């Protein structure tokens, strides 16, 4: 079992729904990340949390709202999404400061989101 | 401009053939890190290797080898005697750590490798 667990693995939602993605890491890492993976595109960094504080927000629309209640848990709250938001959402964690280029990211298996 | 280019979108090889996955990167930093990750059908990206910009020594790990050449800004990955289990999407990534801006990771678009039995 991977050290980073994501739930749910699959989610289908309508554009007016509110749902949340959950990520939990069991590695004792202190930085967590949300990435979006769309077909034929590079992975897009959405949010970075270091020591439970958000340190990166790559111009992500406000319909995506992250929450990091502690260093082991990360949520992505979804509201009023668009069909183009359908993608695989990957959570990752790393040890060490988020401003260290040497970080090795440990990824979860992802949550496959489909917006109808 | 794209920081990491993986020009090969899809590659198919017959089992036991050798295959090289290309990665070209772009950076102005003198200190940076390069990575390869494997994404099997299960979804999670699995870390394979990390190299820093000051270490151009090639590395071999079993059937995997990596060729880092700063002169051509390339970090290519070769699988020798490929196996069906090697079928996956492989991502090359660049990490920069410019002062005061936090870690920046850039991933390529990935190369989908299919090994045919």
Over chain B, what is the mean pLDDT?
A: 90
Instruction: Say which of A41, A99, A110 has its CB closest to residue B43.
Output: A110
- Examine the pLDDT at B18 and tell me if it is beyond 60: yes
Taking CB atoms and an 8 Å limit, are A100 and B91 in contact across chains? no
Q: Residue B109: which region, alpha, beta or left (left: phi > 0; alpha: psi -120 to 50)?
A: alpha
- CA of A25: how far to CAs of A13, A46, A55, A101, B3, in Å? 25, 18, 18, 21, 29
Band (pLDDT 50/70/90 cuts) for residue B100 is very low
Instruction: Name the closest residue on chain B to residue A112, using Cα atoms.
Output: B43
Asked if residue A116 lies in contact with residue A84, where contact means CB atoms within 8 angstroms, the answer is no
pLDDT of B96 reads 80
User: B32 to each of A80, B54, B64, how far by Cα in Å?
Assistant: 38, 8, 22
Which chain B residue has its CA at the smallest distance from A91's CA? Answer: B44
Is the CB of residue A93 less than 8 Å from the CB of residue A105? Answer: yes
Inter-residue contact B66 to A74 (CB < 8 Å): no
pLDDT category at B2 given cuts 50, 70, 90 is low
Long-range Cβ contact pairs of A80-87 (< 8 A, separation 24 or more): A80/A15, A80/A16, A81/A13, A81/A15, A81/A17, A81/A113, A81/A115, A82/A15, A82/A115, A83/A15, A83/A115, A83/A116, A84/A115, A85/A113, A85/A115, A86/A113, A86/A114, A86/A115, A87/A36, A87/A37, A87/A38, A87/A113
Residue B1 has pLDDT above 60, yes or no: no
What residue has token string 């020594």? B57
Among B residues 17-76, those touching chain A with beta carbons less than 8 Å apart: 31-33, 35, 37, 42-47, 50, 52
Residue B34 has pLDDT above 80, yes or no: yes
Chain B hits for A9, CB-CB cut-off 8 Å, are 43
Share of residues in chain A with pLDDT > 70 (%)? 90
Q: pLDDT-derived band of residue B25, with 50, 70 and 90 as boundaries?
A: very high
Interface test with A, best of B103, B107, B111, B112 (most A CBs within 10 A): B103
> What's the pLDDT score for residue A7?
96
pLDDT of residue A9 exceeding 90, the answer is yes
Question: What phi and psi, each to the nearest 5 degrees, are found at residue B81?
Answer: 50, 65
């Amino acid at each position: 079992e991977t050290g980073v667990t994501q739930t749910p693995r699959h989610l289908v939602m309508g554009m007016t729904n509110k749902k949340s993605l959950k990520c939990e890491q069991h590695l004792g890492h202190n930085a967590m990340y949300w990435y979006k993976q769309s077909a034929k595109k590079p992975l897009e960094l959405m949010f970075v949390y270091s020591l439970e504080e958000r340190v990166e927000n790559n111009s992500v629309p406000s319909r995506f709202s992250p929450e990091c209640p502690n260093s082991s848990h990360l949520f992505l709250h979804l509201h009023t999404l668009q069909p183009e938001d359908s993608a695989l959402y990957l959570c990752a964690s790393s040890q060490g400061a988020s401003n260290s280029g040497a970080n090795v990211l440990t990824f979860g298996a992802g949550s496959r989101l489909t917006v109808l | 401009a794209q920081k990491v280019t993986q020009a090969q979108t899809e590659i198919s090889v017959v089992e036991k053939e050798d295959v090289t996955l290309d990665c070209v990167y772009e950076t102005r930093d003198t200190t940076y890190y390069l990575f390869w990750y494997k994404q099997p059908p299960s979804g999670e990206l699995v870390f394979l290797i990390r190299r820093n910009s000051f270490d151009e020594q090639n590395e071999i790990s079993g059937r995997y080898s990596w060729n880092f050449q700063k002169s051509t800004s390339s970090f290519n990955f070769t699988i020798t005697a490929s196996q069906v289990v090697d079928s996956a999407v492989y991502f090359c990534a660049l990490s920069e750590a410019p002062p005061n801006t936090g870690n920046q990771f850039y991933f390529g678009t990935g190369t989908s490798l299919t090994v045919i039995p």
